Amino acid sequence: MGIDKEKGLLTDADELRRQAEERLLLKAEERHSSWSEEAPPRLIHELEVQRVELEIQNAEFRQTRDGLETALEKYTDLYDFAPVGYLTLDRRGTIAAVNLTGAGLLGKERSRLIGRRFGLFVEETERLAFSNFLDTVFASRGKEVCEISLASEKDNQLYVQIEAMADASGKECRIALIDINERRRAEDALTEKRRELEELNISLEARIARAVDELRQKDQMLVLQDRLAVMGEMINNIAHQWRQPLNTLGLLIQQLPLFYGSPEFSREFLEKNTTQVMQLVQHMSRTIDSFRNFFRSDKQAVTFDVNRVIAQTVLLIEKSFADQQIGIVLQAEGDPMVSGYPNEYAQVLLNILMNARDALVAHKVADARICVHSFAKGDTAIVTITDYAGGIANEIMDRIFEPYFTTKGPDKGTGIGLFMSKTIIEKNMGGRLTVRNTGSGAEFRIEV
Ligand SMILES: Nc1ncnc2c1ncn2[C@@H]1O[C@H](COP(=O)(O)OP(=O)(O)O)[C@@H](O)[C@H]1O
Ligand SMILES: [Mg+2]
């Protein structure tokens, strides 16, 4: 019937008869003379009509068959060479039909697939899941989708997406197998990359932590080095501070045997001498105390009087500076207060003062002077330290606060002093340490 409608190949009985009669009429005219006179013409005619009818039918059948063959070829081509694998499975998952692409995906010849269970081609660990999937397909009657990996004889896994739907009878289902290996590989690669990245992140964090730790250790080393350098200076300063009182002490003690027995050697003389000696001893003891104080590290932030710290610091060095013909001029305005670490602050003052001294000595400035000016501006305590040693060359102005930057010889400079000072003022106390050239020298400015 279908072919009938589609191509009009089969003719109905009346039409067939009409066509046969027509053709026969044509032939009869051609062969009229050769007809046998013995056979009854009516019967002969009937037979002839039937023969021609058969001929027509035969031709029509041939045509129909040709059409069917073409259609079959087309269908086979469509089915076998579709870009996805097609399979028909029964309720138990047995393969009833499979196209070439499907056979290719399963890695077996088609003839060896028919009648076998599809589940055998599913990766062992996923077989149960697939079986459940098949149950769902037959239960739902709609399209169901899943992704599974096929068991492959080769090492590489084959991932497929399965789209399945039961047929109307509910006895079979048709499934499409789509090769998603590329996509899965890309996804796997992505997951792998993400994992690597995460690992890298973790190791990066560890590396950064280690680097930060190393840096912190280096910083601590720097603090220590700076302290050692300052301590060396301090021992020198103590020597300077003690030289004079020690001399005086010596003289006072020498007086005793010299004057003994003479009229001047009275009780009064002895008492005066002893008092002087004791004053010197106390002074020397105080000097030692203030040096010891200086090296005590600050435990916690306190509010301190900047002028007092300046005075204490200058006391430690003024003798040794004086020995090098360098005077320190203090100009204190008001009572600027700072909350922070007084000993660290003193270390900063000392670093700047010692740099000024080095510059003055290097430039052989006669009658050298360093001015320390302190004042308050709002809540900020400002201290400027100005020398007259020619200032800092513009080329190195940007670099003097860098660690290890020094223009002094290896035995004289470490290049740590200003770096440490900036760290102390800006990081530890939240202030600012800056420098500028005044024209005749350098001026450091501490603002906290
Ligand atoms: N008052 C100053 N006058 C001229 N140059 C200075 C002065 N203070 C610092 N500098 C320069 O800054 C450099 C770095 O100083 P610093 O960090 O204290 O290290 P160091 O004193 O060990 O060289 C010095 O080597 C010097 O070139
Ligand atoms: Mg220095």
pLDDT digit string, tens, across residues 187-227:
889 999 999 999 999 988 899 999 999 988 887 787 777 77
Which pLDDT tens digit goes with each residue over 21-77?
Answer: 888 888 777 665 555 556 677 888 888 889 988 999 999 999 999 999 999 999 888
Provide the pLDDT for residue 246. Answer: 92
Average pLDDT, the chain: 88
Contact 348, 340 (CB under 8 A): no
Q: Whose CA is nearest to atom 24 of ligand 1?
A: 406
Averaged pLDDT, 104-114: 90
Q: Whose CA is nearest to atom 19 of ligand 1?
A: 415
Q: Please state, in angstroms and rounded to a whole number, the distance separating the CA atoms of residues 152 and 157.
A: 6
User: Does pTM top 0.95 for this prediction?
Assistant: no
Which pLDDT tens digit goes with each residue over 134-155?
Answer: 999 999 878 999 999 888 666 6
CATH architecture type of domain 298-448: 2-Layer Sandwich (3.30)
Range 85-179 has CATH code 3.40.50.300: no
Cα–ligand 1 centroid distance for 329 (angstroms): 21
Averaged pLDDT, 304-315: 93
Q: Residue 156's pLDDT band (boundaries 50, 70, 90)?
A: low
Q: Whose CA is nearest to atom 6 of ligand 1?
A: 392
Segment among 219-228, 233-242, 308-317, 355-364 with least mean pLDDT = 219-228
Q: Please state, in angstroms and rounded to a whole number, the distance separating the CA atoms of residues 309 and 346.
A: 6
Q: At residue 278, what is the residue type? A: M
Q: Please state, in angstroms and rounded to a whole number, the distance separating the CA atoms of residues 351 and 16.
A: 125
Domain range summary for the chain, segments of one domain joined by +: 2-80, 85-179, 298-448
Segment among 27-36, 171-180, 260-269 with least mean pLDDT = 27-36
Provide the pLDDT for residue 35. Answer: 53
Does residue 94 carry a pLDDT above 50?
yes
Cα–ligand 2 centroid distance for 214 (angstroms): 24
Averaged pLDDT, 110-119: 92
Give the atom of ligand 1 at the shortest distance from the alpha carbon of 442. Answer: 1
Q: Residue 237's pLDDT band (boundaries 50, 70, 90)?
A: confident
Q: Please state, in angstroms and rounded to a whole number, the distance separating the CA atoms of residues 233 and 430.
A: 27
Using a 6 Å CB cutoff, which residues line ligand 1? 351, 355-356, 359, 387, 389, 392, 400, 405-408, 413-419, 442
Which pLDDT tens digit goes with each residue over 412-432?
Answer: 888 889 998 999 999 989 999
Identify which of 384, 418, 423 to mutate to test ligand 1's pocket (most ligand atoms within 8 A of the CB).
418
Identify which of 406, 412, 421 to mutate to test ligand 1's pocket (most ligand atoms within 8 A of the CB).
406
| Ligand having the closest approach to the CA of 421 | 1
Top mean-pLDDT range of 43-52, 283-292, 360-369, 426-435: 426-435
Provide the pLDDT for residue 147. Answer: 93
What are the two backbone dihedrals, phi and then psi, of residue 168, each rounded to the nearest 5 degrees?
A: -60, -35
Averaged pLDDT, 422-447: 95
Averaged pLDDT, 114-121: 92
Does residue 163 carry a pLDDT above 60?
yes
Contact 373, 331 (CB under 8 A): yes
Q: Residue 234's pLDDT band (boundaries 50, 70, 90)?
A: confident
Does residue 289 carry a pLDDT above 90?
no
| Ligand having the closest approach to the CA of 414 | 1
| Ligand having the closest approach to the CA of 233 | 2
Does residue 304 carry a pLDDT above 90?
yes
- Of the candidates 135, 176, 271, 224, the residue with the CA atom closest to the CA atom of residue 420: 224
Averaged pLDDT, 309-321: 90
Give the atom of ligand 1 at the shortest distance from the alpha carbon of 416. Answer: 17
Which pLDDT tens digit goes with each residue over 65-86?
Answer: 999 999 999 988 888 888 889 9
Provide the pLDDT for residue 34. Answer: 54
Q: Output the 3-class SS for the chain.
A: CHHHHHHCCCCCHHHHHHHHHHHHHHHHHHHHHHCCCCCCHHHHHHHHHHHHHHHHHHHHHHHHHHHHHHHHHHHHHHHHCCCCEEEEEECCCEEEEECHHHHHHHCCCHHHCCCCEHHHHECHHHHHHHHHHHHHHHHHCCCEEEEEEECCCCCCCEEEEEEEEECCCCCEEEEEEEECHHHHHHHHHHHHHHHHHHHHHHHHHHHHHHHHHHHHHHHHHHHHHHHHHHHHHHHHHHHHHHHHHHHHHHHHHHHHHHHCCCCCCCHHHHHHHHHHHHHHHHHHHHHHHHHHHHHCCCCCCEEEEHHHHHHHHHHHHHHHHHHCCEEEEEEECCCCEEEECHHHHHHHHHHHHHHHHHHHHHCCCCCEEEEEEEEEECCEEEEEEEECCCCCCHHHHCCCCCCCCCCCCCCCCCCCHHHHHHHHHHHHCCCEEEEEECCCCEEEEEEC
Provide the pLDDT for residue 361. Answer: 93
The proportion of the chain whose per-residue pLDDT surpasses 90, expressed as a percent, equals 54
